[in-house]
Amino acid sequence: MSYERNNIRAMEGYTYGEQPSDIGVIKLNTNENPYPPSPLIQSALKNFDSDVLRRYPDPSASSLRKFVASRFDVSADNVLVTNGGDEGLRLAVTTLVNPKGAIGMVDPSYSLYPVLANIQDCRIESLRLEKDWALPKGFSERINASGAQLTCLVNPHAPSGVLCSVDVLREIAYGLEGVLLIDEAYVDFVDPVLGHSSIPLVHEFDNVLILRTLSKGYSLAGLRLGFLIGNAALIEPMATKTRDSYNIDTITQSLALVALNDSNHALINCDKVRAERSRMRNKLCEIGFTVPESQTNFLLAEVPGPMNASTLYESLHDAQILVRYFDSMPLDRCLRITIGTPEENDRFLKTVSRILQAS
């Protein structure tokens, strides 16, 4: 006998990227930062007073909230600290979307969004992106017609890496009747020359939530720390009603503050990633791949000629190089490649060239 809810029984869970135990594997499949976090993290861990673990952590992560608020020129009431960006997404869905309601998104996008929709037992209004990865025309109107209470847009987009401008986001926020959640998991890798910042939208609109994480730019995927920034009326019910009690442990709160206070280290690492991203894209294009310009720490590469993307994925896997392959249109001819260290990227490029020449 099954005791789970009908919608849970019928759904499929989130598919994680492969996590190998062999340290010899080149891991370019889950968009982790190839460089270590601030060395101050290691020092803080060594000097951490374990006696404080007898007590519960600060339930609202108040020091972190205040620090984030000051960094982004908002009030602490505009900030909610979450257990990774994924908890922020779950809280937004749980708090803002009725069961049998609807969530808006684009296709393709982050594969967790439909999983959360299924858990909430609500519909998905998914609109296919244009061939250049631009939003479809009449996006807000079509989402409104579905009755979606929440629309999730990852920006820069995953899996293409393409950046949507703040002007376009502003137009969407203005047109939507529900809440716009801008998932900025990869925003730390955006070229600073572009001057991109969506934070002003929080001051302009009461229906905008911005999601950030320390997993990518700050090299802390193993720590699980994110935060939401938005109108206080959006933050308050999540903070006081639907959030798990004591959702951020004491060690994580402490280390996150250390990392954020040493943001220059993250900036340097992101500069390295951007340099390798540019080099990798140029090299891939030279050997026949089609690669949109990315503002993330990964590239979406369409496989050249008659080569099958699934076959190339398997061949790379056999060579102990992991990338991500999605067996669905319009991604079935593409590989998503995380930017690694120069040495890892060189091994990837050499292996790919060898496989293509042999095919």
Residue range 107-116: mean pLDDT, rounded? 97
End-of-domain residue from the set 261, 288, 314: 261
Q: Over 80: is that where the pLDDT of 1 sits? A: no
DSSP label at residue 227: E
Checking DSSP bridges between strand 226-230 and strand 79-82, what pairing results, if any?
antiparallel
Task: Give the distance, in angstroms, between the CA of residue 85 and the centroid of all CA atoms in the same chain.
Answer: 7
Residues 111 and 238 in one domain: yes
**11 domain residue, yes or no:** no
Examine the domain organization and report whether 253 and 294 are in the same domain. Answer: no
User: How far apart, in Å, are the Cα atoms of 90 and each of 64, 95, 114, 132, 229?
Assistant: 20, 8, 11, 29, 15
Domain count, the chain: 2
Same domain, 271 and 309: yes
226 within a domain of the structure (yes/no): yes
Specify the pLDDT at position 23: 85
d(CA 118, CA 187): 27
**How much is the pTM?**
0.97
pLDDT tens per residue, range 127-174: 999 999 999 999 999 999 999 999 999 999 999 999 999 999 999 999
Residues 23 and 56 in one domain: no
pLDDT range class, residue 359, cuts 50, 70, 90: confident
Residue 10 domain flag: no
| Percent of the chain surpassing pLDDT 70 | 100
Query: What gap in Å lies between CA 212 and CA 187, rounded to an integer?
Result: 8
Range of the domain at 109: 40-261
Whole-angstrom distance, CA of residue 283 vs CA of residue 285? 5
- The band of 344, judged by pLDDT with boundaries at 50, 70 and 90, is very high
**HEC assignment per residue over 95-127:** HHCCCCCEEEEEECCCCHHHHHHHHHCCEEEEE
Model confidence pLDDT, tens digit, residues 194-213:
999 999 999 999 999 999 99
Where would I find the beta strands (DSSP E) of 12-140? 26-27, 79-82, 102-107, 123-128
